[in-house]
Amino acid sequence: MSILVVGSVAFDTIETPHGKRERCQGGAATHFAIAASFFTDVRVIGVVGDDFGPKQEEAFKKRNIDISGIEHIPGEKCFHWAGSYEGALNEAKTLQTDLNVFADFSPKVPSNYQDSDFLFLANIDPVLQKRVMDAMPDVKMVAGDTMNYWIADHRDNLLKMLAGLDTLIINDGEARMLSGEHNLVKAAKKVIEMGPKSLVIKHGEYGATAFFCERSFPGTKNTTVPFRAPALPLEEVVDPTGAGDSFAGGFYGYLAAQKEITPRAFRTALFYGGVMGSFAVEKFGIERLRDATREEIEERFRLFREISHLDLDAE
Amino acid sequence: MSILVVGSVAFDTIETPHGKRERCQGGAATHFAIAASFFTDVRVIGVVGDDFGPKQEEAFKKRNIDISGIEHIPGEKCFHWAGSYEGALNEAKTLQTDLNVFADFSPKVPSNYQDSDFLFLANIDPVLQKRVMDAMPDVKMVAGDTMNYWIADHRDNLLKMLAGLDTLIINDGEARMLSGEHNLVKAAKKVIEMGPKSLVIKHGEYGATAFFCERSFPGTKNTTVPFRAPALPLEEVVDPTGAGDSFAGGFYGYLAAQKEITPRAFRTALFYGGVMGSFAVEKFGIERLRDATREEIEERFRLFREISHLDLDAE
């Protein structure tokens, strides 16, 4: 099954305790697409400027990602974000945001993307997310992301988008802000009342929790019990930029590759999300994820089971 | 196998968003002992004043806990702690500490406790922890806890105690403070270099991670991979006081009840730790834990597996 992702295709200038990198290839759609491409076909809708050249295209082509839906605006530049991380590397401090081509982004779904099976709405203006969602009424599943800016200042538009989601993937802080509840279980209930059939809350180095409502898996029983997936305890987190998008890509890519979206497939997908997130942070930008292999991914998936499951054979 | 625990037997005045309770029965040894008593025989060493009466004794006796090693100081009062929790309920703000009988606590191991198999050193002065450890050289296993106060101001004494531990059980903040490392994997490595063969780091609502060194399980292989146990996503956390001690009690109680301390037993014990911690926070003080049943514990253990394991039968 194919995934269509809409979101930012950008450059990031990143400073972490491990060093500084100027203008790494990045953006939510980039991280998501590369992570998902290890599992299924991926198509990207985005907008770029003249600074998006053959080198940047190559990163997508190497992973067989269809970028025919990325619009080029001549004479302009790509979206650029600069940020720094300190201490726990949990939260980025934004130093600079240059919207550039992104300021007037108006996503269009090309005809060759119309038969996409799964839709992922990366973190952009919820008005645009909703527009793409409405343009793709026949997809099997719609998942999406958002951030504090839209939650705080564009709530009405955000709520219209959330109403159409199968799965919302956000972090602890966003779940608390969106719901007004500090307790994450209460927060999840409120968010699910806004429309999403399921909610994945990412806890950074502590993993992720999925919450479900009765509509999550029609025809199956006992599906409303939450599920917790671990994160790998990592000694070196070089750059957390894109970890959440890589998590979403691994999660959604695995899910799109399954015959049927069952509770078990959903749970397993969360583990693959963690796996792709764990690769993403090992190097700057997309460096590590881009060079991953399917064998490495399976090996790390086994490691995720080993660190979290009781009943493995090894005594 | 029997567990000997040494620690505080106290009263707590607790304020949380769910209300206020004056002088609840509490203390680290109390929470630990009650949690562990569902799995194995428990004996307590502590010190109390005249305010520790038949009602307080009853809570131990109901759980068949041996309190013949609790010393009564006539004319004095029990240790009393007052604290409040806000927001995420993750951290207590101490409002008042009345050491009372605890100021001159000098633990002695009664002769009827000498044959104890497992020793748990709850959070007290590391000099006293070390003294009890030295008085019990033949136990099968020694585990212990500590806190920021001892880490900051009694480091040398703490290091002497840590050198003799099989397992240290502390939280994220304590692990970071003790090691001087923000990254928890790096922190764990440094703490294990201080002596403990294994380290359990409690992450509150996110569960716990165990780290092992090669000496953790002599004769077994592949034992240095960390292990992550979940916490139950709870909608109502009424009072977190004693959750960490209840976790330690469930963990250690389960372990002491096994024929052999294998990696699998250790991992399973972490799940039971989470189970007992999840009960502890549901009511004030020891109210919920005291009234738990073995059936409820097993049911919740199954729930912990259900929320974290991929390969259960249910689709």
- For B251-280, how does the pLDDT look when each residue is reduced to its tens digit (9 = 90+)? 999 999 999 999 999 999 999 999 999 999
Do residue A309 and residue B311 have CB atoms under 8 angstroms apart? yes
SS (HEC) of chain A? CEEEEECCCEEEEEEECCEEEEEEEECHHHHHHHHHCCCCEEEEEEEECCCCCHHHHHHHHCCCCEEEEEEECCCCCCEEEEEEECCCCCCEEEEEEECHHHHHCCCCCCHHHCCCCEEEECCCCHHHHHHHHHHCCCCCEEEECCCHHHHHHCHHHHHHHHCCCCEEEEEHHHHHHHHCCCCHHHHHHHHHHCCCCEEEEECHHHCEEEEECCCCCCCCCCCCCCEEECCCCCCCCCCCCCHHHHHHHHHHHHHHCCCCCCHHHHHHHHHHHHHHHHHHCCCCCCHHHHCCCHHHHHHHHHHHHHCCCCCCCCC
| pLDDT at residue A303 is higher than 60 | yes
Mean pLDDT of B150-165: 97
Task: Give how far A203 is from chain B: nearest CA, Å.
Answer: 8
| pLDDT at residue B314 is higher than 90 | no
Amino acid present at A207: G
Amino acid present at B299: E
pLDDT in tens, B271-309: 999 999 999 999 999 999 999 999 999 999 999 999 999
> CA-to-CA distance for A58 and A71, rounded, in angstroms?
16
> CA-to-CA distance for A177 and A157, rounded, in angstroms?
16
Tell me what the pLDDT averaged over chain B comes to.
Answer: 95
Task: Give how far A238 is from chain B: nearest CA, Å.
Answer: 11
- Give pLDDT, residue A315: 45
Do residue B235 and residue A311 have CB atoms under 8 angstroms apart? no
> CA-to-CA distance for B264 and B207, rounded, in angstroms?
18
**Smallest CA–CA distance from A266 into chain B, residue:** B310
Give the pLDDT band (50/70/90) at residue B61: very high
**Smallest CA–CA distance from B209 into chain A, residue:** A233
User: A221: which chain B residues are within 8 Å (Cβ-Cβ)?
Assistant: 314
- Give pLDDT, residue A221: 72
The arrangement of secondary structure in B2-306, i.e. its CATH architecture, is 3-Layer(aba) Sandwich (3.40)
| pLDDT at residue B222 is higher than 80 | no
| pLDDT at residue A143 is higher than 70 | yes
Task: Give how far A42 is from chain B: nearest CA, Å.
Answer: 26
A216: left (phi over 0), alpha (psi -120 to 50) or beta: alpha
Show me where the domains of chain A are located: 2-306
Task: Give how far B274 is from chain A: nearest CA, Å.
Answer: 13
pTM of the predicted structure, to 2 decimals: 0.95
| pLDDT at residue A249 is higher than 50 | yes
| ipTM value greater than 0.95 | no
| pLDDT at residue A92 is higher than 90 | no
SS3 state of residue B205: helix
> CA-to-CA distance for B152 and B1, rounded, in angstroms?
35
Do residue A184 and residue B206 have CB atoms under 8 angstroms apart? no
Interface of B with A (CB under 8 A): 87-88, 182-186, 188-189, 203, 205-207, 209, 211, 220-222, 225-230, 233-237, 262-264, 267-268, 271, 303, 305-311, 314-315
